[in-house]
Amino acid sequence: MMREKNRNEETDIHLDFQEQMTYGDYLDLERLLSSQHRLSGHHDEMLFILIHQVQELWMKLILHELNAAVEAIEKGELSASFKMLARVSSIESQMIQAWDVLSTLTPSEYMEFRDYLGKASGFQSYQYRMIEFALGYKTPHVLEIYEKDPALHKRLSEALHQPGLYDVSIQALAKAGFSIHPAVLNRDVSETYEADPSVENAWLEVYRDVEKHWRLYELAEKLVDVEDQLQQWRFRHMKTVERIIGNKTGTGGSSGVGYLKHVLNHQFFPELWNVRTKI
């Protein structure tokens, strides 16, 4: 007797993919899922590799969104940039949660395969450097790390010399009629941004008359969201490292937890934090 068709059974699902692209083809899953190579064979090394690969994938999307936001702000399309910056904040939230997963790795487990990393370290993440560059924290000395790869070194050098997110935001203030010191508007963008009174006064005026400067106010809050989430990511990174290796030197030669604590003190958009005291 023929089986009665289940009322919930789908009848139009495509099953023949001999000449069609599949989900796995579109995402290039075979290459993606075969990119985890444990050097030690230790069970927990898979966790360590995957967490860092996932973080790098999210960083790729952050850079995609940040670069688009910079371009939008330069064109005066502030509303378009808000969606991109909100997405960056959401991505950062996901990255923060990833540290909770890595924290399930105990010190004893990590030490069983740590030596296999050699001098490799998250300190060398070029995408993270490009995110810092995009946010205005320029550290030209780190480019030496990437001299092994001339093409990559060139990309980083170009990113170092490009205006960052805050540079174009300050330009937006100037275009809106705020008095920004010429030295700020014409500064060498390959150097780390430092707070300026004229920029602080401009943001203070924005916050004191939100209705008049609504779009700039929205931009300011989006910038704060991005920095806030990134600093929380940095903090969770530091605590995860501290939990797993204590105060040992990092595999790449950095001071480890000491270095991570130090960078927590840096503010990407200092005036936006200063005005909170003065409003």
> Which residue, among 79, 81, 61, has the nearest Cα to 70 in the 3D structure?
81
Q: Give CA separation, 152 vs 20, 27, 89, 142, 146, in Å.
A: 35, 24, 26, 13, 7
Separation between Cα atoms, residue 273 and residue 231, nearest integer Å: 13
Q: How far apart are CA 164 and CA 63, in angstroms?
A: 11
64 assigned to a ligand binding site: no
Largest CA distance in the chain: 86
Are the C-beta atoms of residues 99 and 48 closer than 8 Å to each other?
no
Nearest to 274 by CA among 198, 171, 209: 198
Give every CB contact of residue 181 below 8 A, 6+ residues apart in sequence: 196, 197, 198, 199
Distance CA 54, CA 159 (A): 23
Are residues 68 and 31 in contact, defined by beta-carbon separation less than 8 angstroms? no
Q: What is the DSSP letter of 4?
A: P
Q: How far is CA 53 from CA 116, 176, 233, in A?
A: 17, 41, 16
> Would the annotation count 110 as a binding residue?
yes
Contacts of 144 (CB under 8 A, 6+ apart): none
Give the residue numbers of the binding site.
Answer: 110, 114, 237, 251
Give the residue numbers of the binding site for substrate.
Answer: 110, 114, 251
Give the residue numbers of the binding site for heme.
Answer: 237
